[in-house]
Amino acid sequence: MQSELWQERILFIGKYWVGSKCIRDLPDERRVSPVDKAYERFKNSLPDGVDLEKVRKKLMEQEIETPSWGYADSGTRFKVFHQPGAARTVFEKLEDAAMVHKMTGITTKVALHIPWDKVDDYQKVVDYARELGLTIGAINPNLFQDEEYKLGSVCHPDSAVRKKAIDHILECVEIMNITGSKVLSLWLADGTNYPGQDDFRERKRRLEDSLQVVYDALADDQRILIEYKFFEPAFYHTDLPDWGMATLIAKKLGPKAQTLVDLGHHPLGTNIEHIVAILIDEGKLGGFHFNSKKYADDDLTTGSINPYELFLIYHELVKGEEDCGDELDVAYMIDQSHNVKPKVAAMIQSVEQIQMAYAKALLVDRDALRSAQQSGDIVGAEMILRTAYDRDVTPLLASVREEMGVPVNPLEAYRNSGYGEKVAKERG
């Protein structure tokens, strides 16, 4: 230990010393960077048996999809505050997404929303994305903005309105075909506002029939991810209010249909990690919409309110990855409306939160947890999770980022990059 410390000190100052005399500079490859030093200490703090190379590989393979709408001005129903430099076109949104990817190295995919990102020629979008090192992720139809959708879209009592909604989703499938997207991400605002307004069971059948048409239009390697939300904008009933009903429909449709969990779409106090575990077990967990909430569907930035919950969710996901291997195909997407935080910085901050939750979850001592569970050691089991959650994974992430060739501190690097100021000047 003594000699290790001594050697470390010598390597750090970057010189060979003989007694008090410096004989020559240390070659670059022998210098130990602060990142490596911190990583060494981190490594030494881990219990025996942790496969750190596997953890590093998993972190490098992590993929978080960012939403085009997270780069544009968006906000609550009260006021949309303009952010200087907020992206105005799908091309500017891609440029911002490319900046997030340049800083983090794990966000190649960008989700599009139609019609917010509607263009005449989607090939141009694909080409520009490729030029920026990006690909197109999920396509999100919009079934809540048109006048005709007052009573619903695919559940509307009038078959002509249902057809309009179905045609719009089919247009999105067409866009998937052009852009190479494999995921159709469906969220419905359908529901009723007052008792007696419509017939629940008829609406359920309209929903099933409409989605069947969409399902049949998907290629074998494309998926429809069905998102649920327990209320809002409808306040009496919502046609897809929870994971159970979304999964019921997904099961009826078939293997190309799965459930999408949006962290903000549950009643307060819902145990989301439990839902995640059950969906994994049923082979129906298709995707995530990351965000954070304090009260309802607040759309705050990921990890801002309850990072422990995010960690517990990732603990289930890591267990799922280990148990199911490639069978588990989850689209990890951010869906938040950070209307008061600067767009690109908030996105990088969110990606970092997700990375951190994943890193901590990868380091849970799962064998020890299993033993504690089997022997009924409740305190011990909880402490195993808490130990992993409390672990500072900054040195691990810094070291992984260094290997990936991205800034060791993405948010700081972005804030020092001048990008925000540059686009504010260019875009206004």
Q: Site residues (CB under 5 A) for Mn ion?
A: 262, 289, 335
For Mn ion, the closer CB: 316 or 335: 335
Nearer to Mn ion, 92 or 299 (CB): 299
Residue 292 or 399 with smaller CB distance to Mn ion = 292
Residue closer to Mn ion (CB basis): 96 or 262: 262
Residue 65 vs 335, nearer CB to Mn ion: 335
Minimum CB distance to Mn ion, residue 16 (Å): 58
Whose Cβ is closer to Mn ion: residue 227's or residue 321's? 227
Name the token pair of 230: 């327990």
Rounded least distance, CB 264 to Mn ion, Å: 7
Taking the complex as a whole, how short is the minimal distance between the CB of residue 60 and Mn ion, in angstroms? 27
Q: How far is the CB of 425 from Mn ion (least distance, A)?
A: 32
Closest to Mn ion by CB, 190 or 262: 262
Q: How far is the CB of 187 from Mn ion (least distance, A)?
A: 6
Short-list 62, 91, 114, CA closest to 290: 62
Listed in sequence order, the DSSP H helices in 18-151 are 34-45, 52-61, 90-104, 122-131
The backbone region for 192, taken as left when phi is positive above 0, alpha when psi lies in -120 to 50, beta otherwise, is: beta
Write out the H or E segment, with its range, that includes residue 395. helix 394-404
The residues facing 17 across adjacent strands are 22
Give SS3 for 257: strand
Least distance CB 272 / Mn ion (angstroms): 13
Nearer to Mn ion, 113 or 162 (CB): 113
- Min CB(213)–Mn ion separation in Å: 23
Rounded to the nearest angstrom, the gap between the alpha carbon of residue 68 and the centroid of all alpha carbons in its chain is 13
How many CB atoms are closer than 10 A to CB 8? 13
**C-alpha–C-alpha distance, residues 277 and 229, integer Å:** 19
Q: Phi, psi (5° rounding) for residue 248?
A: -60, -45
| DSSP alpha helix (H) spans, 106-199 | 122-131, 159-179
**173 or 188: CB nearest Mn ion:** 188
Nearer residue to Mn ion within complex by CB, 198 or 262: 262
- DSSP E strand stretches across 167-314: 183-186, 191-192, 223-227, 237-238, 257-262, 285-290
Is the distance from CB of 412 to CB of 402 less than 8 angstroms? no
* HSE toward the beta carbon, residue 77, CA cutoff 13 A: 5
**Cβ atoms of 68 and 332 closer than 8 Å:** no
Dihedral of alpha carbons 44, 46, 47, 50, sign: negative
Q: Which amino acid is at 21?
A: K
Question: Closest by alpha carbon to 398, among 40, 64, 30?
Answer: 40
Least separation in angstroms between CB 113 and Mn ion: 11
Q: Please give the Cα distance from 230 to 224 (Å, whole number).
A: 20
Beta bridge partners of 140: 113
- Nearer to Mn ion by C-beta: 240 or 363? 240
Tell the smallest beta-carbon distance from residue 298 to Mn ion (Å): 12
Q: Are 300 and 336 in contact (CB under 8 A)?
A: yes
- From the CB of residue 402, how many other CB atoms can be counted at a distance below 10 Å? 15
**C-alpha to C-alpha distance for 215 and 193, rounded to whole angstroms:** 28
Shortest distance, CB of residue 232 to Mn ion, whole angstroms? 12
Q: Are 132 and 106 in contact (CB under 8 A)?
A: no
